[in-house]
Amino acid sequence: MAKKERDDGDEDGYETVDTEYYNIEPSLGDLLIKFVENNKEEIFRGFFMRISDNWIDYELIDTADGERLERWGDVTLIRPDPQIIWKNEGESPKWASAHARYIRSSSGGGSWDYRRKLPESWHISYGSLRFMVKPTGFKHTGLFPEQAVNWDYCGDIIRAVGRPVNVLNLFAYTGGATLACAAAGASVCHCDAVKGMVDWARTNAKLSGLDDKPIRWIVDDANKFIRREIRRGTKYDGVILDPPSYGRGTNGEMWKLEDSIYGLMEDITSLLSDKPLFVLLNSYTTGLSASVMSYLLQMTVGKRFPIEVMSEEIGLPVKQTGLSLPCGSTAVVKFL
């Protein structure tokens, strides 16, 4: 059997991989080497992260002391982010000129401190998609820009398959993924328990010129809606889920992610067509890490279909430092 040897003459100092020694098929070994070469910057920083770096109208300018400084179109906002536990001695001078800052209250919640006059809402674009954004009472703006990397992923698959595609977007919020899939040619069912969010998503569809696309707008509790879809025999080629850590349904039903996600994924598996394209599960919950989501999907979707799961952090590039800020995790099921 061949031995693994170090090629000290390699100018990058990488260790040569002997695929025979490791009992790896040569084709898989080639793919592994190619993967490392294409992603070595992230790997050698100690992690792999999928970065949403195609934005023009959004920019994460800087991060420091529990806050992020962001540009949304022509508006700069400061919002809290508890994972930002570092200081930045070379911080951007743009902190001082931000339009508004969200200040948390010691009793919970918080409020915006408006330093400069702002419109009630304004619009930003991502490619052909257009969104209304505005400061809300819970620090959010109606958009999670790190999710653009997932919008691109789903859109690329839908465009490439060359057949009609039916997509379910659960906990669909203001519709970023819905619009990306509809723009790629899919029929989409957009489901969220909050009517205001569905109305906001419909506004975004109109702004994006997609209000005439085959989109079903559903205001309902996710679990109840899925069970009705199962009884109807409805099938989906792709499913996108962005469940909250905690929440309430349309009739006040309590939702806790760790208690509910396994049963939810079992039901989702029943809704998949015979030739599904993807299942994409997002998490901003500490207890539902990338590795946990991967295991969960193997134990649910993987019991019905042969699959691979790509499960990683997603993030945003930080202009001031050149680093990337993690912003949750996504697990993507690939059907073999």
Q: Would you say 278 and 154 are in contact if contact means Cβ atoms under 8 Å apart?
A: yes
What does the block give as tokens for 291? 């590795």
Look up the CATH superfamily of 145-335. Answer: Vaccinia Virus protein VP39 (3.40.50.150)
pLDDT of residue 107: 83
Please list the pLDDT of the chain residue by residue as tens digits (336 residues).
444 444 444 444 444 445 454 454 556 666 666 666 666 555 444 458 999 999 999 999 999 999 999 999 999 999 999 999 999 888 899 999 999 999 999 888 899 999 999 999 999 999 999 999 999 998 999 999 999 999 999 999 999 999 999 999 999 999 999 999 999 999 999 999 999 999 999 999 999 999 999 999 999 999 999 999 999 999 999 999 999 887 766 666 676 888 899 999 999 999 999 999 999 999 999 889 999 999 999 999 999 999 999 999 999 999 999 999 999 999 999 999
**Tally of CB atoms within 10 A around 78:** 21
DSSP-H helix ranges across 53-212 = 148-161, 176-183, 195-207
Write the single-letter amino acid at 82: P
Q: Do domains 58-133 and 145-335 have the same CATH topology?
A: no
Instruction: Choose among 307, 303, 318, 247: nearest CA to 280.
Output: 307
pLDDT of residue 246: 78
R_g of the chain computed on alpha carbons:
22
Number of H helices, E strands in the chain: 7, 17
DSSP-H helix ranges across the chain = 26-44, 148-161, 176-183, 195-207, 222-232, 257-271, 290-300
pLDDT of residue 89: 85
Task: Give domain limits for the chain.
Answer: 1-45, 58-133, 145-335
Q: For the chain, what's the residue count?
A: 336
pLDDT of residue 248: 67
Sign of torsion over alpha carbons 290, 294, 295, 299: positive
Instruction: Choose among 184, 230, 235, 192: nearest CA to 210.
Output: 184
Write the single-letter amino acid at 68: R
pLDDT of residue 15: 46
324-335 β-sheet, strand order: 49-51, 307-317, 324-335, 278-283, 238-241, 166-170, 187-192, 215-219
Angstrom distance (rounded) from CA 241 to CA 33: 32
Domain 58-133 = CATH 2.60.40.1180: yes
Q: Which residues pair with 169 in a beta bridge?
A: 190, 240
pLDDT of residue 48: 82
Q: Would you say 79 and 65 are in contact if contact means Cβ atoms under 8 Å apart?
A: no
